[in-house]
Structure formats: structure tokens, C-alpha cells
Amino acid sequence: MILTGTEIAANVAAGRICIDPFDPHMTNPNSHNYRLGPVLRTMERTEVLDSVQAPEFEDVLIPPDGIVLRPNLVYLGTTLERIGSEWYVPSLIGRSSVGRLGLYLQISADLGQLGAEHHWTLELAAVQPIRVYAGMTIGQVSFWEPIGEKVRYCGYYGTRSDPAPWSPEAVIGWNRPNHGQLSSVERQESQ
Amino acid sequence: MILTGPEIKRQVDSGRICISPFNIDQLSPNSYDFRLSETIAWYVDDILDCRQYNKTITSTIPEEGMVLRPDRIYLGSTAERMGSEHYVPIIRARSSIARLGLFIHVTADLIDIGSINHWTLQMHAVQPTRIYPGMLIGQVTFWCTKGEIVLYRGKYRNSVGPMGSLIHLDAERESNAALA
């Protein structure tokens, strides 16, 4: 079940959902809007991105008169707000006002994990050149009630509140939280 | 929880979901396929701006179709009037359309509860793609809610054709708030 805006606000008040800062005017009928943080990270100096190589990146502070995003590049940004919940599963997408301008806020990865509470990394991609501004209301997050025992996310990206590029270790799967546990089981078996 | 196709039909019959016109042949096991209307729009300027009004041109998709360019965002509209005051709709492309590399929304699949109208589609083609008026382009699912429902009263209500972004109203609201 998806939480209504009223229910999101009630859970923020009860401490079961973190949206910080929380502005009640940004609540929608079944989601809550978030704003764009001030820093964008680009990998435009690298011609071909390599999933198992750490990227060379450049940080840009969005000036007061905005910055024009160019098509055919991925820009990593963050939510201005800290967002997360141990109780409800977040799904982070754009707003229709922004989608109508052809700006993607994530690249087929809208699903958050239970327990990850941080400034979320946004994957911005523009169909046409578009000027964006720091602090603008750019997307929305919805919250979903899960079924089953809850386990907290302990993965790498949940600790990052900057526009975090991919981690080669995470791509390969070396830093999965259960990898250490699995290898200790394997060690015991081999002894 | 997601509604099954037969449950969508039952809710349409009881008036708790609006899909108009409704055609039983467009019902899937857990979604309903919708059509593309004949009206299409795009922006006049090449560079868009989140604080300015971005002017659009509106046109009609001819019977012989129209080719969408990859470097442009197009606004279409559902042929059907749809929505619900009881369930949250989520839209997406049909897999037949996705296999062509055609996005029908740009990370904005979630429809507000109470937004009952012809929804605007945000169309982006990865390769040049020919589209036709009336084609079955997308599907809508309906989801149960938890909590008190407050219906959508936003700026896109009552839209009938493809509606351009009204994001410049945010900047006006923000500057009015700063002045107040």
C-alpha cells in the first residue's frame, strides 16, 4: 500500500519517516516533494565510463542564476533533504512539472531500501538543454508499506550524502553486507 | 497492493475508477492499456528553463504518423479520461512500446489521487520513432492507499490535451513568499 500525503506527514511527526527539513507545503496527495541540493558532479572528462573503474569527476556548485544541463551527459546531484525510513519503502522519482521539460531525475532506479537515511543521489539526464537551480523543487518521494520481517540496508551508498558515483566494488558485489558473513561461514567450513 | 484487471473493471463499473471510454479488450491481468490522443505538443525554444514559462507549439499527429526525434521532448495526451479518488494510478509504457526505445513519461509515473483528466504523456524516443494517433501506447495500474485521502487540487487539474510544464509558477510562488 502507498501512503497518502496525510499519512506521510503523520509518520514524519511520529519519527517513523525522516524528511529533514520537512515543509508541510510540499506534501502532495500521495507523495512529498524534495528539492535539488547545490552541488552537481559530472564525469564529462571521461569519454567512456567504466563500471569497474573509479571515475574522474568534477564538482560544480550551481550558481545563483542556475546552470544549463547538456543532453548526453549524466549529472549526479542530491536531494536537499535527508530522506529515509526503517518502516516504509521509499520510491524516488521526478515531478510531472520537471518530466514535462524532459529532465530525468533517476535512471530506472527509483527504489530505495529500508533503513537508508541520507541525502539521496539523483541521476539527472536532460533530453534538451535545461537550466536548473539549486533549491528548486525538483522531484517527489513516495512511501510504501512492506510485508514481512524488516532488515535494515547496510550497503555502501546508504552512508553517502554527496552526489555519489558508482563504486567499482559495489558494481562487482565485493562490498555486499552479507559477503563478510558468507566468507566467515565458508572459513569455518574449511577449518 | 495492486488491483488485478478484473478488480479494475469492477471499480470502473462501480464508479470508483474513471476510465472513459472503457474497452474490455484493453484490460490486462493487472493493468489497463490506454491510447495516445491525436494532439501533440513540443517546446518552441531549444534551451528550457525551470524558472521561465516555456512556450509550446500544439499540432495534430496525422493518420500516416509522425516521427519523434531523439533530441526533443514531446508532450502527448491519453485519449481516455482517467483517474480515481480511491486508488493511486501509476502509468508506464506497454512493453511493445518500450522495446522500441520510447519513453512515455520522464521519471513521473505517479499520478495524484483525485487527478481525473486526460493525463499528459512525456515522450522521449531513444531512436527516431514513428507514432500514430489512437495507438495503444501505455498502461495504467491502480494501487491501494494507507491513510486519510486528500484529493489533488493542483495546477494541472482539468487538463484535456497535452499540457506544457507550469514550473514557472513555482518561482512566482517562491518570490511571493520571500516578499511576504
**Alpha-carbon span B90 to B111, nearest angstrom:** 6
Cell, residue B173 = 510562488
Cell, residue B147 = 491513510
Query: Amino acid letter at A191?
Result: Q
DSSP H/E element including B48:
strand B48-49
Predicted pLDDT of residue A186: 43
DSSP H/E element including A10:
helix A5-13
Predicted pLDDT of residue B178: 64
Cα distance from A153 to chain B (closest Cα, Å)? 23
Q: Which residues pair with A57 in a beta bridge?
A: none
Note the pLDDT tens digit of each residue in B17-70: 999 999 999 999 999 999 999 999 999 999 999 999 999 999 999 999 999 999
Indicate the average pLDDT of chain B.
Answer: 96
- For every one of its 191 residues, what pLDDT tens digit does chain A have, with 9 covering 90 and above? 999 999 999 999 999 999 999 999 999 999 999 999 999 999 988 889 999 998 899 999 999 999 999 999 999 999 999 999 999 999 999 999 999 999 999 999 999 999 999 999 999 999 999 999 999 999 999 999 999 999 999 888 888 999 999 988 888 887 666 544 444 434 444 44
Q: Mean pLDDT per 10-residue run, chain B (180 residues)?
A: 98 98 98 98 98 98 98 98 98 97 98 97 98 98 98 91 94 69
Cell, residue B128 = 527516431
Max Cα separation, chain A? 64
A129 touches B at CB < 8 Å: yes
A63 touches B at CB < 8 Å: no
Instruction: Tell me which residue in A31, A98, A104 faces B110 most closely, judged by beta carbons.
Output: A31
Cell, residue A23 = 515543509
3-state SS class at A145: coil
Cell, residue B155 = 495546477
Query: Amino acid letter at B83?
Result: G
A110 neighbourhood in chain B, CB within 8 Å: 107
Sole residue written with cell 490506454: B34
A128 touches B at CB < 8 Å: yes
CA angle in degrees (0–180, nearest 5) for B70-B74-B78: 130
Predicted pLDDT of residue A73: 95
**Number of neighbouring beta carbons within 10 Å of residue A121:** 22
**Alpha-carbon span A137 to B126, nearest angstrom:** 27
Instruction: Tell me which residue in B51, B122, B148 faces A100 most closely, judged by beta carbons.
Output: B122
Q: Are B121 and B42 in contact (CB under 8 A)?
A: no
Instruction: Tell me which residue in B54, B71, B114 faces A101 most closely, judged by beta carbons.
Output: B54
Which residues, other chains included, contact B81 with Cβ-Cβ below 8 Å and sequence gap of 6+? Answer: B18, B19, B20, B116, B117, B118
CB contact under 8 A, B148 and A68: no
Say how many Å lie between the first and final Cα of chain B, rounded. 43
CA distances from A187 to A180, A184, B145 (A): 10, 5, 47
Considering only CA atoms, which of B153, B120, B152 is closest in space to residue B137? B120
The complex's ipTM? 0.95
User: What is the b/e burial string over A36-71, where b = at least 16 CB atoms within 10 angstroms of the residue's CB?
Assistant: bbeebbbbeeeeeeeeeeebeeeeeebeeebbebee
Give counts: helices (H), strands (E), chain B.
Answer: 3, 14
Q: Enter the pTM of the model.
A: 0.93
**Alpha-carbon span B41 to B61, nearest angstrom:** 10
Active-site residue, A123 included: yes
Cα of A156 vs its chain's centroid, Å: 13
Residue in chain A lying closest to B170 (CA)? A137
CA distances from A121 to B82, B128, B150, B156 (A): 33, 31, 29, 28
Q: Which residues pair with A131 in a beta bridge?
A: A68, B49
Cell, residue B161 = 490535451
Is the peptide bond prior to A24 cis by the omega test (within 30 degrees of 0)? no
Cell, residue B114 = 483525485
Q: Are A75 and A81 in contact (CB under 8 A)?
A: no
Predicted pLDDT of residue B177: 66
Cell, residue A93 = 522519482
Is the peptide bond prior to A129 cis by the omega test (within 30 degrees of 0)? no
Which residues, other chains included, contact B102 with Cβ-Cβ below 8 Å and sequence gap of 6+? Answer: B68, B93, B123, B124, B125, B126, B129, B131
Sole residue written with cell 511527526: A13
Predicted pLDDT of residue A123: 98
Predicted pLDDT of residue B31: 98
